[in-house]
Amino acid sequence: MGELRWAVTDGPDGTAAVVLPEDGAAARRFAEQARGGLWCAREAGGCGGRLVVDTAGDPAGDRPVLRHAGDARCAFVRHEESAGPAYDHLRYRPALAAWLAAQGAAPRITRVPGRDGHTGLHVALPGAALEVQLAPLTDLAWRDRDDRLRRTAARVTWLYGPDADVAAATEASVRGAALVLRRHDRGLLVGVRDARGAVRWVRLSACRLTADGVAVPGLAEARCAHASRSAAREDAARRTARQAARWSQRTGAVPWDVRTGTLPFPAAG
């Protein structure tokens, strides 16, 4: 049995998530600041009940935990460890919602259940979708979800949390760049991850919501660089194929096998 360390401070249906510090002194300060109330977040799959900071189970008072104020029928009772992944999306959601509001959008944000109770977010916009992917997602699962999303939304923008790096790498290799999302102070940072794994960070507030999706400084450049590298690679491959064909015509030999990198026989002198 784990410990319950997560709550929201803005009511049973609230999204202002807080975590009880592990350090005793910091936890006592937290308890003082939380006089307005702590709730077991319904948005995280909790019961909406009141939570209290409890030091009773810990004689030294050094490691308080959160407990339900009364008897609660709650998914987190006896499964306290599942609260961390279930609350994760709430650590991104307020900053994301504030940014969307600043962009003049007031979309519906819905939860997407993920692996191990790790919840992501889906933002439905006119003709577009934003997917905040926080749970790990395999290459195949990403391709499948991406295909399905593109059937209903013309433009799909993925934002990958720290646990979804594999999916970020997949998208970057397919499209030349992927957007990664990290918490920073009370805000969010967006990183442009290129196909070679390099990441360039900007604040979410520096990004704009446009008709084409999310405009992030450096994103278009990363995609262009990838497209021109791909074009150069295809060019080189075509040149090699043409040279091989000419050589084969001239000598009547079997062309150089590019797969094995070996010549079928030594060139005649």
Residues lying near Zn ion in the complex (CB under 5 A) are found at 40, 46-47, 49, 72, 74
Residue placing its CB nearer to Zn ion in the complex, 6 or 92: 6
Q: In angstroms, what is the minimal distance from the CB of 188 to Zn ion?
A: 27
Residue placing its CB nearer to Zn ion in the complex, 49 or 107: 49
Residue placing its CB nearer to Zn ion in the complex, 72 or 105: 72
Q: In angstroms, what is the minimal distance from the CB of 13 to Zn ion?
A: 13
Backbone CA torsion sign across 65, 66, 68, 73: negative
Check: CB of residue 75 under 8 Å from CB of residue 168. Answer: no
Q: In angstroms, what is the minimal distance from the CB of 46 to Zn ion?
A: 4
* Dihedral angle computed from the Cα positions of residues 190, 192, 198 and 203, in that order, rounded to the nearest 10 degrees: -30
User: Angle at Cα 203 formed by Cα 195 and Cα 85, nearest 5°?
Assistant: 80
Residue placing its CB nearer to Zn ion in the complex, 44 or 164: 44
Q: List b or e across 202-211, with b for residues whose CB sees 16 or more CB atoms inside 10 angstroms.
A: eebeebebee
Q: In angstroms, what is the minimal distance from the CB of 90 to Zn ion?
A: 14
Residue 78 three-state SS: coil
Q: In angstroms, what is the minimal distance from the CB of 51 to Zn ion?
A: 7
Residue placing its CB nearer to Zn ion in the complex, 53 or 72: 72
18: nearest Cα among 1, 49, 45, 40: 40
Residue placing its CB nearer to Zn ion in the complex, 40 or 137: 40
Element (H, E) at 161: none
Sequence-ordered list of residues with C-beta below 8 angstroms from that of 104, at least 6 positions apart, any chain = 209
Q: In angstroms, what is the minimal distance from the CB of 5 to Zn ion?
A: 13
| Interstrand relation of 213-215 and 187-194 (parallel, antiparallel or unpaired) | unpaired
Report the alpha-carbon distance of residue 249 to residue 239 in Å, rounded.
15
